[in-house]
Structure 1
Amino acid sequence: MSKVELLIQEIRTLEPDDLQKVLQELLKQADRFNLAKDALTKFAGSGKGVWSQDAQEYTDQLRATDRL
């Protein structure tokens, strides 16, 4: 049985007050995830034009010179 299935089984046995606490914690975690996602989205693509070479081309060159 997976961890999620075990958690769901446990949740089903909780008293309403405890269930409310679990719900509040889940909402806090979801908010943290969304804040982090939003922050990263703001920076996506911000490095474009900073380097004169495409990142994949640079990586390919490094790998080519690193191989024996």
Structure 2
Amino acid sequence: NCCLSHLVTNQNIENWEGPYLKKRLPNDPWGKPYNYQCPGTHGEYDLFSYGRDGAIGGEGEDKDVVSWE
């Protein structure tokens, strides 16, 4: 079970040696939480932001920012 909160707090995960982030999880540049899927569609996990508009697709600052490209 993958979850970004596991980077900050131990939720009974064997061999956990964190926290891996000093504070809370960061938001994307537009102040929204990052999206995280595990297992991912494009790899072991997918990490992405829907951009400024928070919607799928878009151009410029509204373009999605993804870990698999």
TM-score (norm 1): 0.21
Give the number of the structure whose alpha-carbon radius of gyration is greater.
1
Structure in which a larger fraction of residues adopt helix: 1
Q: Which has the higher contact order (CA 8 A, sep 6+)?
A: 2
Structure in which a larger fraction of residues adopt strand: 2
